[in-house]
Amino acid sequence: MKIHKYDTVIVGAGGAGMRAAIESTKRSRTAVLTKLYPTRSHTGAAQGGMAAALANVEEDNWEWHTFDTVKGGDYLVDQDAAEILAKEAIDSVLDLEKMGLPFNRTPNGTIDQRRFGGHSRNHGEAPVRRSCYAADRTGHMILQTLYQNCVKEGVEFFNEFYVLDQLITEEDGVRKSAGVVAYELATGEIHVFQAKAVIYASGGCGKFFKVTSNAHTLTGDGQAAVYRRGLPLEDMEFFQFHPTGIWRMGILLTEGARGEGGILRNKDGERFMEKYAPVMKDLASRDVVSRSIYTEIREGRGCGPEGDHVYLDLTHLPPEQLDAKLPDITEFARTYLGIEPYTDPIPIQPTAHYAMGGIPTNVEGEVLADNTTVVPGLYAAGEVACVSVHGANRLGTNSLLDINVFGRRAGIAAAEYSQRTATFVELPENPAQLVVDQIEQLRSSTGTERVATLRKELQETMDANVMVFRTEQTIKTAVEKIAELRERYKNVSIQDKGRRFNTDLLEAIELGNLLDLAEVMAVSALARKESRGGHYREDYPNRDDVNFMRHTMAYREVGDDGTDSIRLDYKPVVQTRYQPMERKY
């Protein structure tokens, strides 16, 4: 075991982690621990753009953006945070441009902007061009630009280091972050990083679904590490299903395709979104569009022999426009489906995409131990966190914005904290014990369960029971199945017993994280007896502001006999300017 000491440790090197690292490295001695090489992050898969009311192509302002974010989140958004997001969006985009990001340009040389779902002029009047973009590779360009600037700033990376545990020490009755424990993939060695401040920026957990746009590596490692140490997870029942994933594969096809004029059609060729969202049509918010697609499918208007998908039609758009604005997604259709988007519509279905919930933080990125108490030295930003700027449903282009605004804020706040804090929090006794035991247990287990089998069963039950439509019955089925899988997980064994690049072992650990988070998600969903944003209960089809205008806070409790359970609590929503209204597009 090796012990390292840094002022600030950042867990994850995607958009949020690297944006934080650029700030933190300027101010404090910083280490970035990342399970993948930095440019492998799934930030790079984001396509359509980053919202900011630059008003480069038409009238716009940050107040309209704030309103759209609050409405898009079905009023579960903390409005003070949404206001920061929309205000700081403008400088965030300009900062990236100054760092070198190659945005598409308008004829007069400024950053070009296009339409995106849920973004409107003057509180819902009509779609507005707010998304700043680089073809359909905006996430790729952000990731590359941030990595380039990390190289420039000399950011210190520990590549292929998996953070498996969060260390917490109690001092004078206050739980403080002491550091993290990491596993080095190349050697199997365990490292303890003692740090004054730790920032989690480790991304989402979408791999507990089967049809998902998420990378294989999005397994909620950060959320799970913090949750297992008794810290809460907020609003985990809210998961976004992106309307346009490639049929059966789930690969993302950007909403920018509809922003450029693409149309969703059912088997009769009907533009069905006109029925569900008369004003915004195909550019209604994602939860609305995904539900509409499944309604079409359920009512027998789905396409193909099994009627299990609909079409994204781009055939009326000029090929030059597709080549210039949507080159990657048209190539995906050719590569994976053998379809030519110039002439054929693309079969699509909703795909699990984004966790609105996560580790609760305030607007400075400080992690909360309960509704109000900050954990000194612990920060989170990006998809792993819940500020909450996305509420019950995130607007497209607000996640690339989130990672930049709150990645930057967390980086500054954490580095300033470690600069003004003179001493390190003492490490717990045997700091690596939990990780050592976990790894030894998995490596020596002779159990009969296989990781791949359990993961497949988990993904199937999540797709069947807690996807776009949910009922008490389906969620209970999921809760029971997850409990069974968690029990069987104790009997899991791996084939690779070696130390060197043992990805077999890490997949087993990742499955454990997914199982814990799936349980939190299902239990939180069961208790929320209303429909709001991405959480739709067929048995409670209306939003219930009287009983559920509040954030869910899920805590892990361990009984005297060592068994764990979930305790749910609730946190008020911050409302400033906007009173809840019925949500129509």
Partner 1 sequence: MATPVLDKVEAEAAASPYITVTFRIRRFNPEVSAEAVWEDFQLEIDPKERVLDGLHKIKWDLDGTLTFRRSCAHGICGSDAMRINGKNRLACKTLIKDINPEKPITVEAIKGLTVLKDLVVDMDPFFQAYRDVMPFLITKDTNEPTRERLQTAEDRERFDDTTKCILCAACTSSCPVFWNDGQYFGPAAIVNAHRFIFDSRDEAGEQRLEILNDRDGVWRCRTTFNCTDACPRGIEVTKAIAEVKKALITRRF
List, as residue ranges, the binding site for FAD: 12-17, 34-49, 221, 383, 399-400
- Which of the following is catalytic: 115, 175, 228, 286? 286
CA-to-CA separations, 499 to 189, 192, 443, 495, in angstroms, rounded: 8, 18, 10, 12
Give the 3-state secondary structure of residue 203.
Answer: coil
- Name the minimum Å distance from CB 442 to partner 1: 11
Phi, psi of 180, deg, nearest 5: -140, 160
Cβ neighbour number for residue 557 with a 10 Å cutoff: 10
DSSP secondary structure, 251-289, as one string: -B--THHHHTT-EEE-TT---THHHH-TTTGGGS-HHHH
Told to check if 57 binds partner 1 by CB under 8 A, we report: no
Residue with tokens 């008020």: 572
Told to check if 304 binds partner 1 by CB under 8 A, we report: yes
> What residue type is 244 in one-letter code?
T
Applying CB under 8 A, which part among 161-169, 193-201, 447-455, 568-576 lies near partner 1?
447-455
For partner 1, give the closer residue by CB, 278 or 304. Answer: 304
For partner 1, give the closer residue by CB, 331 or 539. Answer: 331
Alpha-carbon span 539 to 526, nearest angstrom:
11
What is the x/- site pattern for partner 1, positions 133-152, by CB under 8 A?
A: -x--x--xx--x---xx-xx
**Annotated binding residues:** 12-17, 34-49, 221, 242, 254, 353, 383, 394, 399-400
Told to check if 403 binds partner 1 by CB under 8 A, we report: no
Applying CB under 8 A, which part among 89-97, 512-520, 532-540, 553-561 lies near partner 1?
89-97
Told to check if 103 binds partner 1 by CB under 8 A, we report: yes
Applying CB under 8 A, which part among 40-48, 415-423, 515-523, 574-582 lies near partner 1?
40-48
For partner 1, give the closer residue by CB, 62 or 227. Answer: 62
Told to check if 2 binds partner 1 by CB under 8 A, we report: no
Told to check if 523 binds partner 1 by CB under 8 A, we report: no
User: Of all helices (H) and strands (E), which one includes residue 402?
Assistant: helix 398-420
Restricted to residues 4-33, the positions that interact with partner 1 (CB under 8 A) are none
Q: Which of 128, 190, 312, 451 binds partner 1 (CB under 8 A)?
A: 451
Q: What residues form DSSP beta bridges with 380? A: 200
- Name the minimum Å distance from CB 465 to partner 1: 23
Tell me how long the chain is: 585
Alpha-carbon span 377 to 385, nearest angstrom:
15
- Name the minimum Å distance from CB 549 to partner 1: 37
DSSP 576: S
Restricted to residues 305-324, the positions that interact with partner 1 (CB under 8 A) are 305-306, 311, 313
Told to check if 63 binds partner 1 by CB under 8 A, we report: no
Applying CB under 8 A, which part among 100-108, 520-528, 540-548, 553-561 lies near partner 1?
100-108
For residues 273, 275, 280, 285, the Cα torsion angle rounded to the nearest 10 degrees is -60
Q: Answer yes or no: 115 catalytic.
A: no
H-helix segments, 176-239? 221-228
Alpha-carbon span 566 to 523, nearest angstrom:
8
For partner 1, give the closer residue by CB, 8 or 149. Answer: 149
Contact indicator for 297, 310 with CB cutoff of 8 Å? yes
Applying CB under 8 A, which part among 26-34, 73-81, 241-249, 476-484 lies near partner 1?
241-249
- Name the minimum Å distance from CB 483 to partner 1: 23
For partner 1, give the closer residue by CB, 264 or 554. Answer: 264
CA-to-CA separations, 536 to 26, 77, 397, 548, 579, in angstroms, rounded: 44, 17, 22, 13, 21
For partner 1, give the closer residue by CB, 216 or 529. Answer: 216
Token readout for 477 is 């089925």
Whether the upstream peptide bond of residue 388 has omega within 30° of 0, thus cis, is: yes
Alpha-carbon span 530 to 570, nearest angstrom:
15
Restricted to residues 177-206, the positions that interact with partner 1 (CB under 8 A) are 186
Q: Which of 259, 347, 358, 407 binds partner 1 (CB under 8 A)?
A: 347
Catalytically annotated residues:
286
